[in-house]
Amino acid sequence: MKIAYEQRNFKAETPQIINRADVLLHEYAQKGYEVTLRQLYYRLVARGWLDNHMREYKRLGSIMSNARMAGLIDWNHLVDRTRNIDVPATWSTPESLLQVCANSYAVDRWATQPNRVEVWVEKDALINVIEKGAEPWQCPTFSCRGYTSQSSMWQAGERLYGYAENEQTPIIIHLGDHDPSGIDMTRDICDRLETFMGGLDVNRIALNMDQIQRLGKKLPPYPAKMTDSRARGYVLEFGYDSWELDALEPDHLTRLIREAIENYVDMDKWDEAMEREQEGIDYLQALANKEEGED
């Protein structure tokens, strides 16, 4: 919904940026993706329409703020995922809660699996895309926000150790930028989980050098930040270019994730779990129908 609260006459190339952003945001909304300012920024960078600099990100932030105020960008097309309101859940009738139960019932489909898979992503801006890929496989997702905090890493260690104790093999699928810090974050996850739960397989499925080489010119390179304290080692191994994970199209990312998870799934046991789930849903639906009928 576009609502104008003020009149504005944008100058220079600002109207073009607003138009391009509007087109992109419409595409994503249509596909069911929620987009953050950061994600929009990286998509514009990937198309060569903005330079990859902090000041350009800040500039886009101002432009999007003004463009929304001027009624040129849909207020529902950009989300701030860091500021949320918790509204206590309520129901209009007891029967409506029964219907909610039937709709949301699910068994733990991984309980009988040999593996336990989680999908971790470096940047929160992409969590919506990652969820789309993981959702069909009922896979937990986690956004690290750069280097994972000590708190969440310890919690993850406890959780994953629990799986291992239960004779399941815990696996983390990790996605991050191909830059000095982004590469190091996968190393950091391995190291700290080694300490907290004795280690596990961390499968970095993106962004990797073989993908960059395969996609060739479709992925725009950026100069590696030489001020990054990890730049020395990175340059020795990969050279002076780096690539953003966001440079991959969202649909490409979701496909990568779905295929990666599938490799770890025992399909027979999965199907058994799905049948049990359907029985539960049927049971609850019958209950909901019955209660409604008695009114």
| Residues within the interface to DNA (CB under 7 A) | 7-12, 14, 36-39, 55, 58-59, 61-63, 65-66, 79-82, 122-126, 145-151, 153, 177, 179, 181-182, 184, 188, 191, 225, 227-230, 232, 244
- What span, in angstroms and rounded, lies between the C-alpha atoms of 278 and 145? 36
Q: Report the distance separating Cα 205 and Cα 89, nearest Å.
A: 37
Nearer to DNA by C-beta: 48 or 94? 48
Tokens for 23? 């087109």
What's at 239, amino acid-wise? G
Of the pair 95, 179, the CB lying nearest DNA is at 179
Nearer to DNA, 62 or 263 (CB): 62
> Using an 8 Å Cβ cutoff, are 131 and 124 in contact?
no
Alpha carbon distance 227, 181 (integer Å): 11
CB of 224 to DNA, least distance (A): 9
Q: What's the CA gap between 194 and 174, in Å, rounded? A: 16
The Cα-based distances of 217 to 211, 220, 274 in angstroms read: 11, 6, 42
CB of 101 to DNA, least distance (A): 33
Taking the least distance from each CB to DNA, the nearer of 34 and 272 is 34
Closer Cβ to DNA, 9 or 92, answer by number: 9
Residue 147 Cβ vs DNA, minimum distance, rounded to whole Å: 3
Helix, strand counts (H, E) of the chain? 11, 6
Query: Least CB distance from residue 14 to DNA, whole Å?
Result: 3
Question: Which residue shows structure tokens 């490409």?
Answer: 252
Tell me the closest approach of the beta carbon of residue 190 to DNA, in angstroms. 10
Which of 217, 229, 247, 280 has its CA nearest to residue 123? Answer: 247
Minimum distance from residue 294 beta carbon to DNA (Å): 47
Cα–chain center distance at 77:
17
Closest to DNA by CB, 37 vs 97, is: 37
